[in-house]
Structure 1
Amino acid sequence: MILTMGNELRGDDGLGPCIAQKLSPLIGDSPSTVVIDGGAVPENFTGAIRKEKPSHILIIDAVDMGELPGHIRIIKTEEIANYNISTHAMPLSFLIKYMQSDMDVEVVILGLQPGKMEIGSKISKEVKKSIDNIINFFKSNYLVN
């Protein structure tokens, strides 16, 4: 399962929904992979996540890592407290603990360094390039045409 997060009204924070919109048509009705756009309130989707019974969840979100905009990093769940991940109502660490409390699921976080996150701003060109790189990675490595 791929779970994206973010607020489309806040510039680079909208990278998650943007990735979900681009990946969903590529994956289609794949029985092995589901894309859920959790938006700004991913905790509202825990029922849908449980229903799918995923073995793995890749969470994609804007994460302030102190890097240049567009930087991509895999973040271990135990490292979440070291980063600023939050335009969300519930801390990501709580969401992950909640999901793992009643599901046997491996969670991986793919963080992208945002630049501008002001209300009304658009996704920056640096983050758009990283989004394209992620989509191309999935096309090349996981998606069968």
Structure 2
Amino acid sequence: MHSQPFVNPRPQPTEAAGPIIVLGIGNVLWADEGLGVRCVELLQQRYAFAPHVQLVDGGTQGLYLISYVQSAERLLILDAIDYGLAPGTLRIIEDEEVPKFLGAKKMSLHQTGFQEVLQLAELTGHYPQRVVLVGCQPEELDDYGGSLRPAV
């Protein structure tokens, strides 16, 4: 019996890979709404990344994030998203579904602003080759000054 070698369907990025932007968005003043920003903070504290990977605390900056999106070959967005699931549940949305999803499932003003950022990047012809949204179902959003809930 002859076996074929395993081939990884997605090539691993190399030093020559294009820019990868890891973008955390959200408002840290409103409990679980700050998830994306807190994720970027932890990644910066705990890990070292290749020079072509940039971690960005996007907060609630909206259109000010356009240069990051336009410069990315790959864009990873981290955010609290209301999927209607159990608190702490992660869900991944990819590529063309990302702007559609942000438009249909808005739970805060920064998501409306970020949907516009993606649309503007597309209109200018500088849209990432890959866009992935990792969203976490929040437990609490209406706690001004509160921190992330344990489930999140």
- Give yes or no for contact 1:12–1:117 (8 Å, CA) kept in 2: yes
Q: 1:95-126: CA deviations, max 9, x gaps?
A: 21112333141222111111111212221000
Pick the aligned partner of 1:5 from 25, 28, 41: 25
Larger radius of gyration: 2
Tell me, in whole angstroms, the C-alpha distance in 1 between the residues paired with 2:25 and 2:89. 17
Instruction: Say whether residues 1:66 and 2:84 are aligned partners.
Output: yes
Q: Say how many residue pairs are matched.
A: 125
Corresponding position of 1:110: 134
- Give yes or no for contact 1:85–1:92 (8 Å, CA) kept in 2: no
Tell me, in whole angstroms, the C-alpha distance in 2 between the residues paired with 1:68 and 1:9. 22
Distance 1:60 1:30, change over 3 A: same
Q: Which has the higher helix share?
A: 1
Distance 1:48 1:96, change over 3 A: closer
- What's the offset of the Cα at 1:84? 2.6
For residue 34 of structure 2, give the secondary structure of its aligned residue in structure 1.
helix
Q: Which has the higher strand share?
A: 2
Corresponding position of 2:113: 91
Letter in 2 for 1:16: G
- What's the offset of the Cα at 1:32? 2.2
In structure 1, stretches of 5+ residues that fail to align are 128-145
Letter in 1 for 2:133: I
In structure 2, stretches of 5+ residues that fail to align are 1-20
- What's the offset of the Cα at 1:49? 4.5
Letter in 2 for 1:126: A
Greater mean deviation of Cα atoms: 114-123 or 6-15 = 114-123
- Give yes or no for contact 2:40–2:57 (8 Å, CA) kept in 1: yes
Distance 1:30 1:87, change over 3 A: same
Q: TM-score, normalised by structure 2?
A: 0.72
What is the aligned-residue identity percentage?
A: 26
Corresponding position of 1:120: 145
